[in-house]
């Protein structure tokens, strides 16, 4: 368990907080590129690390990410006119370019030099992997661009979505890096159902509870769940945690135990504020054919397909309707009775409340990955407070892959999978 002071350190991410200063040392997903589809399109609200921002794409296609409020009278720039190379506040006509420079003031004399003296907050952005990323930290500490392998494959080989989760970022992250829950929370309980879930005859369910191994790296850690399948074989699911909020998970066998494929998926849990986070979900094929229509339709089975979403990226199944739990389905078809694997995660994590008080926990051996992540984040907070650099601000994570494999028990899994986990 954590002390209440450590829990406060980990969960609070506003500007000036220890974890907030850590978060500001990384590139952060701010929105999907598809949310700004073309030059001079409508601006978009962005909330990240407690800051209210506005994103827009100017006449030349360049993206700006500015303070959400005009520096004149602090009205919302979301209502601004995106026109002729800048975003113009509709209250008094002050206009700003993507760098935050004031270009014009409709309520000032034409010969006034006052516009040149006004600048609003602007953050650097980069478009990569169907996302617009931003950096909110000190300019001199800006890290290399976030060139994860999934951001570098062709668009045809990648799928990126997002959904809003109404809880603190840390309990969402911890749900994602907790490998032990998957074959319990997400299981089907019968063969006679087509509902999404882990099939009862797959090795994830027929094998024993996993033994967890965690190896720290300079970007976070790699961790593996080792399940004894009997007949002298182990199933090894090797994940990666990249600081501060990225997870890579293997999809080579999928959930139903299909023939192996070169698919990897993962999440990015970005704090919007202390009680909300935006989850960016990605999947890609690192070799071979583009993603198929069936691959892309997996989002529906996860509970975040197009028909599952509200316009603001909240899911239709949410805490206001108890995630539409069906007790008959729970009794006869799936372990939870909640439709969609992602929805099951969301229900459990949000049901804990907006911010969990971890001082009351009772952790077990299967929680090792969570314990190590907390330790690394607390150490990073101290390191940044002392003027140092946190892990994962270099480029060593560029080539990591999550791998799912079945090996003989006598095999050294680390050596056997090394070239697959670090291929370049």
The CATH number linked to 189 is: 3.90.380.10
pLDDT given at position 328: 97
pLDDT given at position 66: 98
Residue 423 above 70 pLDDT? Answer: yes
The answer as to whether 22 is a domain residue is no
How many domains, the chain?
A: 2
Query: pLDDT: is 204 or 58 the higher one?
Result: 58
226 plus 303 within the same structural domain: yes
Residue 92 above 50 pLDDT? Answer: yes
204 plus 126 within the same structural domain: no
Least confident span in 59-63, 90-94, 420-424: 420-424
The answer as to whether 270 is a domain residue is yes
Q: What are phi and psi of 412, to 5 degrees?
A: -80, 100
Domain at 57, CATH number: 2.102.10.10
pLDDT given at position 255: 47
Residue 197 above 50 pLDDT? Answer: yes
* Residue-range definition of the domain harbouring residue 405: 149-421
88 plus 177 within the same structural domain: no
The pLDDT tens digits for 26-67 are: 999 999 999 999 999 999 999 999 999 999 999 999 999 999
Q: What's the rounded mean pLDDT across residues 160-181? A: 94
Residue 418 above 80 pLDDT? Answer: yes
43 plus 189 within the same structural domain: no
199 plus 85 within the same structural domain: no
238 plus 381 within the same structural domain: yes
Q: What's the rounded mean pLDDT across residues 94-112? A: 95
122 plus 160 within the same structural domain: no
Picking from 198, 176, 174, 173, the residue whose alpha carbon sits closest to that of residue 186 is 198
312 exposure class (CB count in 10 Å sphere: 0-12, 13-18, 19+): exposed
285 plus 372 within the same structural domain: yes
In terms of residues, how long is the chain? 424
pLDDT given at position 207: 62
The model's pTM = 0.94
**pLDDT band at 254, cuts 50/70/90?**
low
77 plus 206 within the same structural domain: no
The answer as to whether 344 is a domain residue is yes
Least confident span in 12-21, 58-67, 193-202, 217-226: 193-202
Contact 124, 132 (CB under 8 A): no
- Mean pLDDT, the chain, whole residue set: 93
189 plus 49 within the same structural domain: no
Q: What's the rounded mean pLDDT across residues 290-301? A: 90
280 plus 393 within the same structural domain: yes
**pLDDT band at 259, cuts 50/70/90?**
low
Residue 258 above 60 pLDDT? Answer: no
Query: pLDDT: is 146 or 201 the higher one?
Result: 146
- End-of-domain residue from the set 102, 120, 141: 141
197 plus 58 within the same structural domain: no
**pLDDT band at 182, cuts 50/70/90?**
confident
208 Cβ contact partners less than 8 Å away, ≥ 6 residues apart = 227, 228
Q: What's the rounded mean pLDDT across residues 158-172? A: 97
């Amino acid at each position: 368990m954590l002390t209440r002071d450590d829990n406060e350190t980990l969960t609070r991410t506003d500007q000036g907080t220890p974890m907030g200063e850590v978060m500001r040392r990384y590139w952060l997903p701010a929105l999907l590129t598809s949310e700004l589809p073309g030059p001079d399109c409508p601006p978009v609200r962005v909330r990240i690390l407690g800051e209210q921002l506005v994103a827009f794409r100017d006449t030349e296609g360049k993206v700006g990410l500015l303070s959400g409020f005009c520096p004149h009278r602090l009205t919302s720039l979301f209502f601004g006119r995106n026109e002729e190379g800048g975003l113009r506040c509709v209250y008094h006509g002050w206009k700003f370019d993507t760098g935050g420079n004031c270009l014009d003031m409709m309520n000032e004399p034409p010969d006034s030099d006052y516009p040149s003296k006004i600048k609003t907050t602007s953050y650097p952005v980069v478009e990569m992997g169907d996302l617009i990323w931003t950096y909110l930290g000190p300019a001199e500490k800006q890290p290399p661009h976030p060139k994860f392998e999934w951001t570098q494959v062709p668009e045809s080989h990648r799928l990126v979505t997002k959904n809003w989760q109404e809880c603190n970022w840390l309990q969402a992250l911890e749900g994602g890096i907790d490998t032990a829950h998957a074959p319990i929370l997400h299981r089907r309980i019968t063969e006679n159902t087509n509902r999404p879930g882990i099939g009862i005859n797959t090795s994830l369910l027929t094998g024993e509870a996993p033994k967890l191994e965690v190896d720290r790296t300079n970007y976070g850690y790699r961790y593996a769940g080792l399940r004894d399948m009997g007949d002298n074989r182990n199933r090894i699911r090797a994940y990666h945690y990249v600081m501060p909020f990225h997870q890579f998970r293997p999809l080579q066998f999928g959930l139903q135990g299909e023939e192996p494929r070169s698919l990897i998926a993962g999440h990015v849990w970005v704090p919007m504020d202390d009680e909300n986070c935006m989850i960016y979900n990605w999947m890609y094929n690192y070799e071979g054919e583009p993603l198929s229509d069936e691959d892309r339709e997996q989002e529906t089975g996860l509970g975040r397909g197009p028909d599952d979403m509200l316009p603001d990226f909240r899911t239709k199944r949410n805490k206001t309707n108890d995630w539409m739990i069906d007790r008959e389905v729970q009794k006869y078809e799936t372990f939870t009775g909640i439709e969609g694997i992602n929805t099951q995660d969301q229900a459990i994590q949000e049901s804990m409340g907006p911010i969990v008080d971890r001082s009351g926990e009772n952790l077990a051996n299967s929680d090792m990955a969570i314990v190590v992540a907390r330790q690394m984040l607390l150490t990073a907070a101290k390191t940044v407070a002392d003027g140092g650099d946190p892990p994962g601000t270099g480029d060593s994570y560029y080539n990591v892959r999550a791998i799912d494999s079945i090996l003989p028990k006598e095999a050294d899994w680390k050596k056997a999978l090394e070239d697959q986990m670090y291929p370049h």
